Amino acid sequence: MPIDMQHQAMGYDRTATMFSPDGRILQVDYAEKTVRLGSSSIGMVCADGVFIIADRRVEDRLIVSNSANKIYEIDDHVIGCAAGVVSDARVLIEKAQLIAQQHRITYDSPIEPELVIKEIANIKQQFTQYGGARPFGVSMMVGGLNAKKAELFTSDITGNYFSYHANAIGENDEKMKEILREKYKQDLTIKKGVKLALEIFEQVQGPKFKIGRFELAFLRIGENKVERLDGEKLKEF
């Protein structure tokens, strides 16, 4: 019997607070698989700002496209997206928005993007440690401006987070990251970076690629304003 099946049979996957004999939390492993079933997003720090582009994976003509957005405005200078269980993501995004507004009220200044992802990562970590609740099935990416510096962070299921020059989450994320490692350059502009991201999506998705399914949000250095493009408007890239 494979080791994973042995662990399931012995009940190590019944709670997020139990370690298996090889030092894993199986509920967290399962949640990571959920993330890789989610819609894909690519984030990139560029010479003139930061952007996130996401596949909405919604093609139903009856659905209002703006109601299926995968990129959220956390503050004037911070954007975020998630891969995995969308309802889980909504809870975390709303918490991030609240944290950003509380920081403005308390300190009369915009919050640093890293503080946002750190607070979200702390919440995610708690749900891998306490009983009675499952882990959040979400990987979250946050991009923003810290003064005149563009930053990008990603947190995983366990509550770890890292800063990235460029990253991908969701379906086929490993394939996308391999291409990013090869082609990403720090002197790319937002326009060139988006073009590269769309080329990566087209290469990975093949015949399934449709530009009308994508949405883009970006922040330019010196402009605390979230700009958005979606669908056919992305053809200029």
With pLDDT > 70 as the criterion, what percentage of the chain qualifies? 95
pLDDT at residue 67 greater than cutoff 80: no
- Tell me which of 75-89, 115-129, 221-235 is least confident: 221-235
With pLDDT > 90 as the criterion, what percentage of the chain qualifies? 61
Query: Which residues does 22 contact at the CB level (< 8 Å), separation at least 6?
Result: 3
Q: Average of pLDDT values for 3-21?
A: 68
Q: What are phi and psi of 34, to 5 degrees?
A: -60, -40
User: Considering the entire predicted model, what is its pTM?
Assistant: 0.90
Q: Taking phi first (over 0 means left), then psi (-120 to 50 degrees means alpha), and beta for anything else, what does residue 132 get?
A: left
pLDDT at 6: 57
Show the domains of the chain with their CATH numbers.
Answer: 44-236 (3.60.20.10)
Q: Average of pLDDT values for 130-135?
A: 80
pLDDT at residue 54 greater than cutoff 90: yes
Burial 67-82 (b: 16+ CB within 10 A, else e): ebbbbbbbbbbbbbbb
How many secondary structure helices (H) and strands (E) does the chain include?
6, 10
pLDDT at residue 8 greater than cutoff 90: no
Give tens-digit pLDDT for 27-52: 888 888 888 888 999 999 999 999 99
- pLDDT, greater one: 18 or 183: 183
- Strands 227-230 vs 214-220: parallel, antiparallel or unpaired: antiparallel
Residue type, 166: A
pLDDT at 45: 97
